Structure 1
Amino acid sequence: MKRIVRIFACAAAFLLLAGCASGEKKKAEAELYAMDTVMDLTIYATNAEEALSAAQEEIYRLDGLLSYTRSDSQVSAINRGAGGAVEVPVEVMDLVSTAVAISQRTDGAFDITVAPLVQAWGFYTGEYTVPDKEALDEILPLVGSGLIRLDPGAKTVELEKTGMSIDLGGIAKGYASDVLVEMMKDRGVSSALLALAGNISAVGTKPGGDPWRVAVRDPRDGSAYVGILSVSDLTVATSGGYERYFESGGKRYHHIIDPKTGVPADSDLTSVTVISQSGTTADALSTGLFVMGMDKALALWRASKDFEAVFVTQDDRVVVTEGIADRFEFTGQSGGYAYEIASR
């Protein structure tokens, strides 16, 4: 699950970083609950209300397809049919296929089949528990994207083993943001900010022409920020172990499970923010890079062309990749952070 990054924009009542001039454009905004999280949409356009209504309807439609917790969703149908092939809409198959590809790209650090492990730790129900090794050893054979069979011709998804289940929560909101961005463009909207939990998509610029400003939270202090990104036509997605966790026996256990070990990722990172033109990519990679850890995450970035990142480390560094450094304002000095720029 992703953290909602604080938005610095005209719609934000709590802090104003820059003035707004909406001109003849109308402003429409809404807060809604879907995909098991709160979402905030702000649109500036002559047809803002119509665009907002269409966006909300689309979010609810996608929730009906992709939700892990809704019993009537396509994901739930796939999970109930584990061990056999389940026919699904092409849209769902394509997203599952993308998730499998990103799993391969991250060497399994991002994996939608991690759901049985998340369930075992109690993160779905809030009834937290620390599974013993025996319990994890029983579940781990059910985890791995290599156990997903896709048949494009028959339009089926098959989870190879009974007891498997998938959760698209680590990629679905990013996908939804991509769909909404295209909807905005099709309607001529050139100024919008779409915050789907920890996935924030900036459509165009602010009404006055300035970039949207999105703050990256300090993982140690919910009221502070380590930096501010200035973005246009990009999605910013953040993952970290600081938002959802429980404590047991004097130890903290966060919700980002390493698919290979079955336990919360032992990462040298406290948060990862990915910036990309693709919300789907940003969403999934923010989780995958967190699990991978700093060295492997940077290696993947150096081998890629489709994303930039902001890493906050356990040893109090804020490391920004060079492709986004000129649009990042470091504000973590007061929190004791050191600032670095990673180069290729």
Structure 2
Amino acid sequence: MRRWISGVLTVMTLVLSGCATEIEPVETSLFAMNTYMTFTVYGENAQEALDESVELIQTMESRWAVTDDESEIYRGNHSDGRPISVSEETAALISFALDMAEKTKSALDPTIYPVLAAWGFTTDSKQVPSQEQIDALLERVDYSKIQLDGTTLTMPKGMQLDLGAVGKGYTADLVAEVLQTHGVQSALINLGGNIQAVGSRPDGSDWRIGIRAPWGEDNLGVLEISDAAVVTSGGYENYFEDKDGNIYWHILDPSTGYPANSGLQAVTIIGEEGRLCDALSTALFVMGTEQAEAYWRENGGFDMLLVTDENEILLTEGIADKFTLSDGRKEPVQVLVS
């Protein structure tokens, strides 16, 4: 069953200073979608907006949780090939995931779940599957076999969807829409590392987002953004080590069924839509440096920060003047120009 823990919603307060009135932020925390979420929202209707946002997140989780036997995704995964009806939001998310799978040539494939489960990344029992097991499960991985007609979903028997690579980003977009509907012009949403900035800080300056150093606890640098999403994917986020010291991480290459060994340690995507950033952070990690750069040049619409296995940082030109290395760091930085 899914789990969620709602944090305490703080009361918005006003601090008077002379003739000026400063509105303090309303903040909340929430455990949902198997991750810890935090919200900082400014505005007269911030509390109402947050209440509605929390309800929205819990609703989406109840529909998309892959282990919740009452969710729409679970019903689809256990439908034995029979068509089922899903909500419009679920249909839109599946449609987006399938579209991104096609655009990335299967570097992102939402049907990878059976292989992911075999590695134990969905449980607490991580292990290295046999080659025979991986080969058999890969026969169930093919996004093109998923049929979606409006809100009717049909999945071949044995295939399973997992929308974890797009769900949080899509949810962040929906939350941002809720906040803006309530007149919120300044907010920072953090859905387990998926950052969504609504507008800029109340004083008009950019939000300052720390980009974590791969395989470390400190920050690689600081990224300044306004009205944008920032999503990072890296092998260090969820991994295990076998008795021989080999490290295996949760981002799998759908073409091999093994952890993607693409020459990248981390991929950060910056763009207007959280769902696109979420999808591309995974897909470009699988692709590797050259294909990621080629995808950016061909498609555009986003910026990226890549950290290679050689600790080189590649930045696209749109964020070159928005990123600053943390004090003491000496990684070489290369700017990619279109």
Q: One fold, TM greater than 0.5? A: yes
Tell me, yes or no, if structure 1 residue 306 matches structure 2 residue 304: no
Match of 1:28 among 26, 29, 43: 26
Instruction: Indicate the SS of the match to 1:113.
Output: coil
Quote how far apart the aligned CAs of 1:86 are: 1.4
Match of 2:235 among 235, 241, 247: 241
Tell me, yes or no, if structure 1 residue 201 matches structure 2 residue 196: yes
Cα distance in 1 between the residues matched to 2:104 and 2:21 = 45
Tell me, yes or no, if structure 1 residue 213 matches structure 2 residue 208: yes
Instruction: Indicate the SS of the match to 2:29.
Output: strand
Instruction: Indicate the SS of the match to 2:260.
Output: coil
Q: Does structure 1 retain, via aligned residues, the 8 Å contact 2:210–2:222?
A: yes
What residue is the counterpart of 2:170 in the other structure?
175
Match of 1:54 among 48, 52, 68: 52
User: Matches of residues 1-344 of structure 1 in structure 2 within 5 Å?
Assistant: 23-152=21-150, 155-160=151-156, 162-222=157-217, 224-248=218-242, 249-331=244-326, 334-344=328-338
Instruction: Indicate the SS of the match to 1:112.
Output: coil
Deviates more, 1:300-309 or 1:78-87: 78-87
Cα distance in 2 between the residues matched to 1:169 and 1:220 = 22
Q: Does structure 1 retain, via aligned residues, the 8 Å contact 2:46–2:179?
A: no
Q: Does structure 2 retain, via aligned residues, the 8 Å contact 1:26–1:48?
A: no
The higher relative CO (CA closer than 8 Å, separation ≥ 6) is in 1
Quote how far apart the aligned CAs of 1:48 are: 1.7
Quote how far apart the aligned CAs of 1:23 are: 4.7
Q: Does structure 2 retain, via aligned residues, the 8 Å contact 1:226–1:318?
A: no
Cα distance in 1 between the residues matched to 2:70 and 2:312 = 44
Q: Deviations over 1:243-273 (max 9, x none)?
A: 2101112200001111110010012110000
Q: Deviations over 1:26-63 (max 9, x none)?
A: 31111111111110011111122111111111111111
Cα distance in 2 between the residues matched to 1:278 and 1:123 = 27
Q: Does structure 1 retain, via aligned residues, the 8 Å contact 2:46–2:182?
A: no
Q: Does structure 2 retain, via aligned residues, the 8 Å contact 1:82–1:165?
A: no
Instruction: Indicate the SS of the match to 1:91.
Output: helix
Quote how far apart the aligned CAs of 1:170 are: 0.7
Quote how far apart the aligned CAs of 1:82 are: 3.9
Cα distance in 2 between the residues matched to 1:305 and 1:257 = 24
- Gaps in structure 2 of 5+ consecutive residues: 1-19
Instruction: Indicate the SS of the match to 1:242.
Output: helix
Q: Which amino acid aligns with 1:119?
A: A
Cα distance in 1 between the residues matched to 2:307 and 2:68 = 34
Residues 212 and 79 (structure 1), Cα distance of their counterparts in 2 relative to 1, 3 Å cut: same
Deviates more, 1:78-87 or 1:286-295: 78-87
Q: Which amino acid aligns with 1:295?
A: E
- Gaps in structure 1 of 5+ consecutive residues: 1-21
Q: Which amino acid aligns with 1:246?
A: F
Cα distance in 2 between the residues matched to 1:48 and 1:150 = 37
Cα distance in 1 between the residues matched to 2:22 and 2:237 = 39
Cα distance in 1 between the residues matched to 2:66 and 2:34 = 9
Q: Does structure 2 retain, via aligned residues, the 8 Å contact 1:330–1:339?
A: no
Cα distance in 2 between the residues matched to 1:69 and 1:272 = 27
Instruction: Indicate the SS of the match to 1:168.
Output: coil
Quote how far apart the aligned CAs of 1:319 are: 0.7
Structure 1: 4+ residue segments shifted above 6 A? none
Cα distance in 2 between the residues matched to 1:159 and 1:284 = 21
Q: Normalization by structure 1: what TM-score?
A: 0.90
What residue is the counterpart of 1:19 in the other structure?
none
Paired residues, number: 318
Instruction: Indicate the SS of the match to 1:202.
Output: strand
Q: Which amino acid aligns with 1:251?
A: N
Q: Does structure 1 retain, via aligned residues, the 8 Å contact 2:115–2:134?
A: yes
| RMSD over equivalenced CA pairs, Å | 1.3
